[in-house]
Homo-oligomer: A and B are copies of this chain.
Amino acid sequence: MFTDGFWAERTRINREVTLGAVYHQTKTTFRFEAIKGKWTPDETRYRPHVFWDSDIAKWMEAASYTLTTHPTDTLQSQLDDIITRYEKLQAEDGYLNSYYQQVEPDKRWSNLRDLHELYCAGHLIEAAVAHYEATSDRRFLDVMCRYVDLIESLFGLDDHQLQGYPGHQELELALIRLYEVTDEDGYLKLAQYFIDARGTQPHYYDEEATKRGDKPENFWAKTYAYNQSHLPVREQTTAEGHSVRALYMYCGMADLARLTGDEELKQACLTLWDDVVKHKLYVTGALGSTRLNEGFTSPYDLPDETAYAETCASIALVFWAQRMFLLDPDSRYIDVLERALYNGFLSGLSLDGSRFFYSNPLAGHPAIDPFNMWSPVLNTSGKTYEREEWYDCACCPGNIARLIASIGGYFYAQHDDTIYVNLYGANAVQFNIQDSPIRLIQATNYPYNGRIQLSVDVDAPTQFTLALRIPSWSSSSSVSVNGEAITGEITRGYATITREWQQGDVVEIDFDMSIQRVRANSKVRHMAGKVALQRGPLVYCLEEVDNGSELTAISLPNDGQFDIVLGEDILEGVPIIQGSAYRQDTSSDMLYTTQNLELNQIKVQAIPFAFWANRGSGEMRVWIRET
């Protein structure tokens, strides 16, 4: 669907590089070998791991989305081969988990709290749904339906059932996707059970630990808030614990509220949303202030260097924001989605598509690596950490691939006769309004430029509403149809145009993309006295390669002017911010002084945060002191 520009390029690289890189790493780390069901304890090269199924599933999902737009025999046969392995692996009763079936066959369902059993089921379901939607082949969908039928029989409120729920949420939202594609009420009800059972008393994880012979109070994460089971979900008013677990759960809650009309659950979602965006969201759309719990800490606790800011958490925020929009159509959710997408998420991937960040901190310095707790002690390399080709815990690479492969799905939404235009970018897409095909073509250099030309291609004049999202970062905007300005009210963040659209109608949209100085709430103690630069949806940063090291010695004058120049080489065509700044002298070898520090006027250059660490290793900083 992408015609050219930003997303055409990002999706091309995803198809041509990332998808293959993830497949290659998954293979060379024996993850595909592990689903053959032939592992024995004397096999020393690999031992199936509790989350390997999810790694495979995410690749399958990404590959399936790609099949839809760019089918290849290779992808098709790679997927078929994996599906065949899973078909063979599946137990007689429907159970399917490559770790438990081979390594601890007697311990099924004994540690939901820690061991990702239901989480893997969730990802495999998402893969099955994506594969079915891409191919209409039910093979893998049937495998997963059989497994879900088993889970449905085992978990629930009946006395003979386990009253458990996933330690790492994911199955909830997956069951709803499965319900939406199969229309099986049981799957929706099972999702509802998992959402509502969570955090009730007596606490399932207490009982499960005791049954295993463990003391519940020895839970390594120290609090059930870690996996959001500290309270029943409807009573949760603040985002706590592991960010990805939390947001996958919120996705399930939002879906369920939308599908069931459950107002109480919707209210819980709205309350949690507010807590996240008002107290716990990085300016890059990243989440998770510390690696200790890979998650949330206190309100306004947003350190930059040690931000955990897991790529998967920004991905989860994209998922959740989209679902909040579907539950409660308002562009404020898409504003956050766009912030996460273009910053905290995209920074997770190198521009060439081959390397990944697990953490996406808002500052990089050789003294610290937020992903490695011991880094301040052990890092003697003198190098700022960089993206890696792979991780032992490889949740992010596959997650990145599947989001990019499906990114087209976030650009528009249709509700009856209204087409929401949520994201901008050069693309062409088709809708049906009352059985009439409607094609929309966006021509734009967004996100580098705020001008969008949206052409309407209809077979016959058709009455419908275009709801154009007006991004909250745009201080002014104009919309015209066929050259005539539209001056209507903006409702819930959308400029809506209802008319009988004619073939060749052209909507022109212009968003102000002036460079903005963003300041954090004064309660954010790490950002006091600092600004971040933003232009359009892109948050910018200073990098050592452009500005030298010791970036904290740099400050921006409050009244300084900025210019835009276009980047070259690997940053070809990317708007780059240039301006004047001050740099403190760093030549002294005294640690403390009672003198004023000498200031030198310098030029600084800022690039989009998402593109940092693509030109060698070095310092980086989003938040810059303002003087």
Contact = CB atoms under 8 A, between A and B. Distances in A.
A293 B528 contact: no
A281 B521 CA distance: 31
A142 interface: no
Interface stretch (A83-91, A255-263, A372-380, A455-463): A372-380
A522 B222 contact: no
Interface string A513-549: 0001111111111101100001000000000000000
Contacts of A76: none
A206 to B, nearest CB: 18
A277 interface: yes
A529 B624 CA distance: 11
Contact of A376 (B290, B368, B373): B290
B586 A522 contact: yes
A377 B292 contact: yes
Interface in A560-594: 584-586, 588-594
Interface size band for A: 35 or more
A555 interface: yes
Contacts of A373: 292
Given A292-B374, A519-B596, A558-B596, 16 more contacts: A278-B589, A278-B590, A290-B377, A517-B594, A518-B593, A518-B594, A521-B592, A522-B585, A522-B588, A522-B597, A523-B586, A525-B550, A525-B551, A528-B625, A529-B627, A534-B594
Given A223-B378, A374-B292, A594 B519 contact: yes
Contact of A521 (B283, B523, B586): B586
Nearest to A226: B377
Nearest to A520: B592
A279 B588 CA distance: 11
How many copies, total?
2
A298 interface: yes
Residue of A222, A279, A550, A592 with highest tally of chain B CB at under 10 A: A592
Contacts of A368: 301
A522 B584 contact: yes
A367 interface: yes
Interface of A: 222-223, 226, 277-279, 281, 283, 289-290, 292-293, 295, 297-298, 300-301, 365-368, 373-374, 376-379, 475, 516-526, 528-529, 534, 550-553, 555, 558, 584-586, 588-597, 625, 627
A591 B529 contact: no
A529 B376 contact: no
A368 B522 CA distance: 18
Given A519-B595, A592-B521, A594-B518, A297 B376 contact: yes
A594 B558 CA distance: 12
A528 B553 contact: yes
A195 to B, nearest CB: 24
A594 B516 contact: yes
A222 B378 CA distance: 8
Given A290-B377, A522-B550, A553-B522, A283 B592 contact: yes
